[in-house]
Copies of this chain bind each other. A is one copy, B any other.
Amino acid sequence: MSLIVQKFGGTSVADSGRLRHVAQIITDTYKAGNQVVAVLSAQGDTTDELIEKAREINPGASTREMDMLLSTGEQISVALCAMAVEALGFPVVSLTGWQAGMVTNTVSMNARIKKVDTERIEAELDARRIVIVTGFQGINRYDDVTTLGRGGSDTSAVALAASLHADLCQIYTDVDGVYTADPRLVPHARKLDEVTYNEMLELATLGAQVLHNRSVEMAKKYNVSLEVLSSFSGNPGTKVKEVAKRMEKSYISSVAKDTNIARIALLGVPNEIGTSFKVFSLLAQHNINVDIILQGIGHEEGKDICFTVAQSDLAMAEKLLRENQERIRFRVLETNADVAKVSVVGAGVIGNPGVAAKLFEALYDAGININMISTSEIKISVLVERRDAEKAVQVIHDKFFAI
């Protein structure tokens, strides 16, 4: 008998039809002789509707009361799903975050799970019940309801799987798994059977919306076997694990693009120690994340510093830098929001210098100019013009995955 944690996202539980289908997946797993803990998000647009209600009343509502409000979304999902399971004739119980023992820190709307008191869930499993738990939420040490912020339900599922020593944590979503590229861009993209935690982490950072980073980090830390699959298709998904089997010669697992990015260039910065520190500590103080950084060697007249930030942070970053122009002493500030980041990810990048060469060759052949380059052990990212992004993904994919 295995213990399986199954997580279903908002689109998977959007209406009664979808909920009945989810109940079928859950009870099929149970009938096969497994213990099942299901973790659910709020239905479809429920969370957005609740946020809209709050804005109407008080755009500056406290995060504590926002959590009180938003946490009702998942509670509605789990109760309705439990009813759907009851309708199929199986023993079931739904639990909220606090009933399931999801203890978090006290940061409202962006809480971190500190521990899971699994006593109640284990008692319910011992009684042979299917357990359906609210994702995205917990309780802090003051007995206040908290929510986990973006990707919270994935994290709830992985935390439960880790605490319960589950044999498998299945993340049901609206895509079939992890592909070698976005199938909407590259029609012949292939689904991967397995990827490593590290590859998944890079992919999540690069804008692949399959799994949230926090959940992958936690899965890696506690060695939770993950599987990403579709609640719609019924096909096998992609397994995420420490070491992934890979087809011969396929050094990389996936090509991704991120267009939510902008470039800032500071030109004519004095060529002296401490300038970079001034720039990046200023941005960090205001929670602005910097991605690719490129800094020339510099010469007597000064040096140039280029870096990328999320588009949503561009205005704030520009404002901060201009306010501090005298202190940082740059000559010119240039911004460009018409850029995109295209990346190849794979455990095979390290130790295969040919990967970079192949990537550059593909872009050269397509006449696409490379703006900046950044590499990690399992990733190579290049910055290109926004209008070239889709083509870049296609030609790189063809170069690496052509049959």
Q: A interface vs B, CB < 8 Å?
A: 16, 19-20, 50, 53-54, 56-58, 60-62, 64-66, 68-69, 71-72, 75-76, 78-80, 82-84, 86-87, 93-94, 96, 98-99, 120, 143-145
Of all chain B residues, the one with the shortest Cβ separation from A144 is B99
Measured between C-beta atoms, what is the minimum distance from A108 to chain B in Å?
Answer: 12
What are 25 A-B contacts with C-beta separation under 8 Å? A16-B53, A16-B56, A50-B76, A53-B76, A53-B80, A54-B79, A54-B83, A57-B83, A57-B87, A58-B84, A58-B86, A60-B86, A62-B82, A62-B83, A64-B93, A65-B79, A65-B94, A68-B78, A68-B82, A69-B79, A71-B75, A72-B75, A75-B75, A99-B144, A120-B143
Copies of this chain assembled into the complex: 2
In the assembled complex, the Cα of A145 lies from the Cα of B72 at a distance in Å of: 13
| A53 nearest in chain B by CB position | B80
Which of B64, B72, B78 touches A76 (beta carbons < 8 Å)? B72
Q: Give the shortest distance, in Å, between A100 (CB) and chain B (any CB).
A: 10
The 10 closest A-B pairs by CB, nearest first: A69-B79, A61-B83, A68-B79, A72-B72, A58-B87, A58-B83, A65-B82, A16-B56, A16-B57, A57-B83
Interface centre among A16, A60, A61, A83 (most CB of B within 10 A): A83
Least Cβ–Cβ distance between A4 and chain B, in angstroms: 22
Least CB distance, A143 to chain B, in whole angstroms: 6
6 new A-B contacts at CB < 8 Å, known A69-B79, A71-B75: A16-B53, A16-B57, A20-B57, A68-B94, A69-B83, A99-B143
In the assembled complex, the Cα of A80 lies from the Cα of B56 at a distance in Å of 10
Q: How far is the CB of A123 from chain B (nearest CB, A)?
A: 10
When distances are taken between beta carbons in the complex, the residues of chain B under 8 Å from A72 are 72, 75-76, 79
B75, A80: Cβ atoms under 8 Å? no
